[in-house]
């Protein structure tokens, strides 16, 4: 009898802690208008770093440190521009369409089971339109700390966020798409 009582208490505590984490992440997302952060991106072993700003819904501006590359979304299109190239994609055809939509994330997180990685990160795996998106949150601050996706060329893309600042004053011009040279 004592054994069953112990198992019952353990299940309740485990379930409550997961529900509590999920609720804190959802609350954090609901209260987040924007994020400013440094990032490290690993695409099939090629590592790049830079600074990024996300403004919900669906806007992002990233400046890469080494190669004068920028990535910008105005919520409809996604542009990747370097010194020698210019690529423009419909945002809705990329995994960023989902990552940059906090209402979508909240809806999905609400219906998903969480995973805990190294007692440091809370992970949710989202399956949407043939995309597998792993979203990671800090286990203490409940901030978004990264994601793992496949890009349009089926390359594995892992993005890790650091030095995260929430709800900063932003210039709307930041999200204007750059022109093609």
Residue 3 domain flag: no
Judge whether residue 10 has pLDDT over 50.
Answer: no
Calculate mean pLDDT across residues 79-92.
95
Residue 62 falls within a domain, yes or no?
A: yes
Say what the pLDDT of residue 70 is: 97
- Going across the sheet that includes 34-43, the strands are 86-90, 77-81, 70-74, 59-64, 46-55, 34-43, 156-166, 144-150, 131-138, 121-128, 115-117
Q: Is residue 91 very low, low, confident or very high in pLDDT (cuts 50, 70, 90)?
A: very high
Is the pLDDT at 168 greater than 60? The verdict is yes
Residue 4 lies in a domain: no
Model pLDDT for residues 12-52, shown as the tens digit of each residue: 334 344 579 999 999 999 999 999 999 999 998 999 999 99
Residue 106's pLDDT band (cuts 50, 70, 90): very high
Has residue 11 been placed in a domain?
Answer: no
Mean per-residue pLDDT, 50-62: 98
pLDDT at 118: 87
How far is the C-alpha of 54 from the C-alpha of 60, rounded, in Å? 4
Enclosing domain of residue 95: 21-175
% of the chain residues with pLDDT over 90: 77
Residue 104 lies in a domain: yes
Residue 12 lies in a domain: no
**108 in a structural domain:** yes
The number of distinct structural domains making up the chain is 1
What are residue 108's phi and psi, to 5 degrees? -70, -45
Which CATH number fits the domain that encloses residue 34?
A: 2.50.20.10
């Amino acid at each position: 009898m004592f054994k069953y009582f112990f198992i019952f208490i353990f299940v309740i505590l485990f379930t409550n802690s997961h529900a509590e984490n999920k609720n804190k992440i959802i609350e954090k997302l609901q209260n987040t208008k924007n994020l400013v952060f440094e990032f490290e991106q690993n695409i099939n072993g090629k590592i790049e770093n830079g600074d990024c700003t996300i403004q919900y819904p669906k806007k992002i501006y990233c400046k890469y440190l080494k190669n004068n590359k920028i990535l910008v979304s105005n919520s409809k299109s996604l542009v990747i521009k370097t010194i020698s190239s210019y690529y423009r994609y419909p945002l809705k055809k990329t995994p960023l369409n989902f990552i940059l939509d906090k209402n979508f994330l909240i809806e999905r997180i609400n219906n998903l089971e969480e995973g805990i990685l190294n007692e440091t990160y809370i992970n949710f795996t989202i399956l949407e339109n043939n995309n597998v998106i792993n979203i990671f949150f800090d286990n203490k601050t409940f901030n978004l700390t990264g994601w793992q996706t496949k890009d349009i060329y089926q390359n594995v893309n892992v993005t890790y966020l650091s030095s995260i600042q929430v709800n900063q004053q932003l210039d709307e011009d930041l999200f204007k798409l750059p022109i093609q040279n």
